[in-house]
Amino acid sequence: MAGSVDSLYKNTDILLIKTDTSGNEIWKKKIGLPNYDETAWCIKTSNDGKLLISGNRRLHNNQSTNGAFVIKADTSGAIIWEKYFPSNYGLAATGMVELGNGDIVALAGKGFGSTISRYELIKLDATGNILFDKVYGPMADRAEAYSLIQNQEGNLVAAGQIYYSANNSVNGLMYVFNQNGDSLFSREYAVQSGSQNYFRDLVQAPDKGYVFSGFISPLFANGGTGNQDIWLLKTDSTFCEAAFNCGYPTSIAEAECSLSPSKCEAGEMSVYPNPANTVVNFIFTHEVQGRKIKLYDAVGNLIYTCDASSKNLTLTTDNLTSGIYFYKAVTGDKISQNKVVIIK
């Protein structure tokens, strides 16, 4: 188990404890540097039998140096390698996934001052080399990430929340990333708009849907009533709440298309229905010779290509399963793209 210990208010170190199966202590160790604060938030056993630990490090009581901290150690607690990602009021790496090839993905928050942070995804190889360090979302209020899982499709799903300083409200915030760190989808949720709605963890259910857990703190100033309560949210595989049809409206309309079609990327178009069940219709405002529609699955694999030179194209979904897909309308080197959701 991993956590932290405060040494006489001088600095905080990671506390690592090993027990037997009855909970009897075998050993405990502190991990940290003098004049630095370190805290562990997540610990996992790696594919090669070592320990992966993520959390945060900063100069003692100096939030402007705070950031993600990732460690690989052996089972005696000896450090093999460590990586530190400081930023201005950064957030801890609270979630971590090891991929099948041994690469490690950590979920954290990159800070841009005391009130602004964004979701941060860090990918390392098994020896600690940095493969990428990416951030997501608008440069607005404070987003905090808490949990990261790998879903049945091989993508990464993150859960946390985003703060809105204008009315002191908080919404649950989730992201889907592929293994290259590309953002595939994101959405906010709230039990009660204007109140504080927090995600802390998530799992993927056997039906490929998701269950998010957290809590809600109603704000009386924003019309909230009642006490703080546990929050459980169940969605389907496309992140729709069961009682709703999410809609996911999709259209691409270049402002200059109607005036000068040559300035369009691949022609102004609309796509419906979205979500779709049996067919997806692609409707273009004008014919473009050589235009093609390319369809990709959520991992980025090309699964379908067809000619779309005419104004109307209907794609059947007989060979597609429920999920999120991405399409491109391609004419030469000009591309229009977006996503479509299939629900069966």
Q: Which of 13-17, 204-208, 222-226, 238-242 reaches the highest mean pLDDT?
A: 13-17
* Pick from 154, 158, 129: nearest CA to 144: 158
Tokens 């906010």: give the residue.
Answer: 188
Residue 265 has what pLDDT?
A: 40
Locus of tokens 């969605």 = 235
Paired sense of beta strands 130-136 and 156-164, if any: unpaired
* 5 DSSP β-pair partners: 13
pLDDT at 244: 45
Q: Which pLDDT band holds residue 268 (cuts at 50, 70, 90)?
A: low
Amino acid letter for position 231: W
Structure confidence at residue 236 as a pLDDT band (50, 70, 90): confident
Most confident of 119-128, 225-234, 266-275: 119-128
Identify the helix (H) or strand (E) that includes residue 3. strand 2-7
Among 33, 31, 29, CA closest to 10: 33
Q: Is the pLDDT of residue 264 over 50?
A: no
82 conformational bin, left if phi > 0, alpha if psi -120 to 50, beta if neither: beta
Instruction: Decide if 157 contacts 302 (C-beta within 8 A).
Output: no
CB contact at 8 A, 236 and 246: no
- Cβ atoms 257, 251 nearer than 8 A: no
Identify any residues that bridge with 292 across adjacent strands, giving them in sequence order: 307, 330
The per-residue pLDDT for 80 is: 97
What domains can be seen in the chain, in order of their start residue?
A: 2-235 (2.120.10.10), 251-342 (2.60.40.3080)
The answer to whether residue 19 scores a pLDDT higher than 90 is yes
**Which tens digit of pLDDT belongs to each residue from 83-106?**
999 999 999 999 999 999 999 999
- pTM for the structure as a whole: 0.71
The two tokens of residue 70 are: 């990732």
pLDDT at 178: 93
Distance between CA atoms of residues 202 and 157, nearest Å: 9
Record the tokens describing residue 264, joined without a space. 């369009």
Distances in Å between the Cα of 273 and the Cα atoms of 20, 187, 320, 338 are 56, 20, 15, 14
* Tens-digit pLDDT profile for residues 286-311: 888 889 999 988 767 889 899 999 98
